[in-house]
Structure 1
Amino acid sequence: MPTTRALLRSVPVALLVGVLCALTLVGISTLAESVQDAVWTTLPEAWDVMGPDGVPWWWTIAVLTVTGLLVGATVRWFPGHAGSDPITTGLVAPPLPVRALPGLAVALALGLAGGVSLGPENPIIALNVALAVWIMARPRAAIPGSPAAPVLLATAGTVGALFATPVAAVLILTETFAERGASAGRLFDRLFLPLVAAGAGSVTMLLIGAPSFAVDIAPYSDPQAWDLLSAPIVAVVAALLVALGAYLLPVLHHGLHRIPSPVVALGLGGFVLGLLGVLGGPETLFKGLTQMEELAQTADDRTWQGLALVAVVKIGALVVAAAAGFRGGRIFPAVFIGVALGLAATALFPAVPPAVAVGAGVLGAVIAADRDGWIALFMAAIVVGDPTIVPLLCLALAPLWLLARNLPEMIVAPPADGRPEFAALR
């Protein structure tokens, strides 16, 4: 058990790690947004190809294909090959060598800017963990007696920055401690420094201007007994649809990674993502945070079939992007999928309140994509933005978890020999 003096001495390091994690996220996000604005707005307007409904269909296909080729070139030729394939790891993975970080940052920024249907969470956590390990290897920054401290602090700081609250970081690390059988002692002693880092990351993001995850839907003001049945039904349907993608993921991953060159494989993956973007519309591109807000605002003008199509296309885009080897995470697009399915459910059955349908949809989609009940519950609650929905979501989580623990995980086992995934890298 750490002493009070040891914890106090380590607080400045935890604060520094949390702030740096937020600044890294802001830097890469700002770069990606600048490139995105140039590619999707400035260039089409300058070349007079922008129409009243946005860019033409061929522009979407071209941009996604070029994005795939550029990410593939980064994976092929940058030192460290842009880190590990995110679909083979969880949120918390072993630290990468520092030489792999520039390629990882470039691949992440390209994917975010080009419209790839993945979030920033896995790569940005991997990047910050590697930086924290490098920083805390210096004697003045080390935390005595805690070799895992850099990983825990950077993970907490980054998750706190991603969601602008330390709560998500605590939930993830609690699950991590349980899975790894952490040593005896007070749980809060082990969470104390990560909580400081998460708080520092969250506050930094709030000061800079953190994006909101809440969507504009009617509050849950009139609970009905029917909600006890409709919530788990929507959650289970969402989980099963995402699980269909998880069934296909290993097959598609194996097929694409049999292609010798990552440039060709990721270019092909980008081309398919472009086709899916044309089919599903611009809402199905990118990580999904801004797009799910736009979807909620226009839901009244859409049919339930149209909303369901958007969700299915996004599932396909998530599976293709992950299988091809794009650097990104699964939580952000899973949240979008849950919102789209929830809106489709309430459009098909108006008796189901939007807050119930959307919250349950997010709960089911995230738990199927990430297999973490805490994060699924947390994301569902903040997307709805209404604390009165939490007890109902907890009840819906019970049957959902019994189902989800028997569904395939959206993860692929890494090569047994530990070699890079593409033949050209071996």
Structure 2
Amino acid sequence: MSSDEPMDARPAHAPPEAAPTDPYAVMRSKGFLMLLVIAAVLGVVISAGAYGFLKGVSRLQKALYTDLPRGLGFHGVPEWWPLPLLGLAGVLVALTIRYLPGTGGHEPAEGLKTRGTAAAAELPGVLLAAVASLCLGAVIGPEAPLITLGGGVALAAFRLLRPDSPAQVQGVVAASGSFAAISALLGSPLIGAFLLMEASGLGGAMLELVLLPGLIAAGIGALVFIGLGNWAGFGVGTLTIPDLPHEGRPDLAQFGWALVIGVAAAFLGTAVQRGALWLKPHVAGRRLLWTPLAGLAVAGLAIAYAEGTGKDASDVLFSGQDALPHLLLHHGQYTAGALTLLIACKGLGYGLSLSAFRGGPIFPSLFIGAAGGIALSHLPGLPFVAGAAMGMGALSVALLKLPTTCVLLATLLLGSDGVTVMPLVIVAVVVCHVTVSRLVPAPAGAGMPGGGAGGTSSRNAR
């Protein structure tokens, strides 16, 4: 491949067609050491950008859904308030996808796709679609835009410095940018590494060659993220939820619940994704009409939940990343009926958002899974911490198809309890993953949406 050929001609994160016979010879070279230095520098820049992006999204959400109605003279947030904001989100996302280069990022209904790197001209559209979706209330997460923006910015910067570099080196640099961006969100370079390895299907001799620059970018990026949090006075964000009750050792009844939760999550996750994939072509056919209508439907679901339970509509809106700690720490304030309605409304909103908006699928699945596990904990034999952990792991793997990452995410969130419940989470994740593979068999010549580790040749051909 010539240096002039666009990166899109071959997936940037995919393994090369012919791996070197001695990868350690590459590691001993001066060029590889220089690549590590470049990855470290990019880790600083991209993690700082990811920090600004995440904090900006959080501040805009609060400004639009809390400060603005008060500034307009309302006493509290009116129940109808999500309607105009989500309608506006639909209009902005539709206009971005239609008129700006690219498609505003990948289709989230297809799972978490990390292969290929967006061209520099496509990055403004990815950023605008993500900000409109995340800040105005769509049930979607920030991870996919961060991966795309991190990889795209890293590749664009590297091409300015080394325009004649080989395509393989450009792919490693792009992957390093994605590593740095996602580790800032997930709070752990290792979690980001596992996620991108599983999602991109990296393996074999090239694994270390891509992993080392990615890890150094992610590790240094995490330090920058911590430093910026302390300097700006926002503190250091973390996914770990403190002050949860101590979880005892798993027993036989809880392992039985792991089987039940794994199967139930497979059916629920499959229904959400199949619904989103069914709606996606209809939305794409008349995007300027159906994307705003999808936003209004999500707002209607949030209003229905608030009316039916007396809880805040924000439980249904947004990714659930910020609301998940409140749900776990105040689970006693949610009746089984309220949790059931929350699962139904956020699940429907999740499917609509996957089909029409731009973002990632991780955090809504974690939130809905946790709500499902807590709802089941009202039944005998299932502590709520174990139920929430199994629900998070199982439902996230139903959407992502990345079992190792989903186990790590579900246990990371629970701090010290995560180690205790990890065997239960593993069982639930494996049961769900296998059940989903039976519910949605891969058709000939095409992989399952969102493909995970150990991808087939049909998945690699995507």
User: What whole-Å deviation, never above 9, does each CA across 1:370-413 have from its counterpart, x for those lacking one?
Assistant: 1100111011101222212223322333333321222345669x
Aligned to 1:213: 239
Structure 1 residues not aligned, in runs of 5+: 413-426
SS at match of 1:146: helix
Give the superposition deviation at 1:76: 2.7
Aligned to 2:132: 110
Q: Which residue, 128, 134, 150 being the options, matches 1:128?
A: 150
Give the superposition deviation at 1:100: 1.7
Give the superposition deviation at 1:139: 4.2
User: What whole-Å deviation, never above 9, does each CA across 1:30-86 have from its counterpart, x for those lacking one?
Assistant: 3323322221122211222233xxx22211212211221122222233344534434
SS at match of 1:329: coil
Q: Which residue, 17, 23, 27 being the options, matches 1:3?
A: 27
CA contact (8 A) 1:342 1:354 kept: yes
Give the superposition deviation at 1:322: 1.2
Mapped to 2, the partners of 1:378 and 1:44 lie a distance apart of: 39
Give the superposition deviation at 1:183: 5.3
Q: Which residue, 281, 285, 289 being the options, matches 1:254?
A: 281
Mapped to 1, the partners of 2:92 and 2:129 lie a distance apart of: 8
SS at match of 2:223: helix
CA contact (8 A) 1:164 1:201 kept: no
Amino acid at match of 2:27: T
Amino acid at match of 2:180: G
TM-score of the superposition, structure 2-length normalised? 0.81
Give the superposition deviation at 1:336: 0.6
Distance 1:37 1:297, change over 3 A: same
Q: Which residue, 395, 409, 413 being the options, matches 1:383?
A: 413
SS at match of 1:406: helix
Q: Which residue, 369, 392, 395 being the options, matches 1:362?
A: 392
Amino acid at match of 1:370: L
Q: Which residue, 179, 184, 191 being the options, matches 1:168?
A: 191
Amino acid at match of 2:75: M
Give the superposition deviation at 1:315: 1.4
Aligned to 2:100: 78
Match status 1:95 vs 2:112: no
Mapped to 1, the partners of 2:149 and 2:209 lie a distance apart of: 26
Mapped to 2, the partners of 1:93 and 1:43 lie a distance apart of: 39
Mapped to 2, the partners of 1:189 and 1:250 lie a distance apart of: 35
Mapped to 2, the partners of 1:406 and 1:358 lie a distance apart of: 24
Mapped to 1, the partners of 2:426 and 2:72 lie a distance apart of: 52
SS at match of 1:131: helix
User: What whole-Å deviation, never above 9, does each CA across 1:105-160 have from its counterpart, x for those lacking one?
Assistant: 12211211111110111112111211111111134598766342123212211221
Match status 1:13 vs 2:38: yes
Aligned to 1:60: 82
Match status 1:49 vs 2:74: yes
Give the superposition deviation at 1:349: 1.4
Mapped to 1, the partners of 2:292 and 2:219 lie a distance apart of: 39
Mapped to 2, the partners of 1:295 and 1:410 lie a distance apart of: 29
Q: Which residue, 23, 42, 49 being the options, matches 1:24?
A: 49
Match status 1:197 vs 2:242: no
Distance 1:398 1:89, change over 3 A: closer
Amino acid at match of 2:373: G
Amino acid at match of 1:130: G
Give the superposition deviation at 1:296: 2.0
TM-score of the superposition, structure 1-length normalised? 0.87
Distance 1:77 1:395, change over 3 A: closer
Corresponding residue pairs, total: 402
Q: Which residue, 404, 429, 432 being the options, matches 1:374?
A: 404
Give the superposition deviation at 1:350: 4.6
Structure 2 residues not aligned, in runs of 5+: 1-22, 230-234, 306-312, 441-447, 452-462
Match status 1:323 vs 2:370: no
CA contact (8 A) 2:110 2:449 kept: no
SS at match of 2:322: helix
Mapped to 2, the partners of 1:138 and 1:46 lie a distance apart of: 45
Distance 1:47 1:184, change over 3 A: closer
CA contact (8 A) 2:113 2:450 kept: no
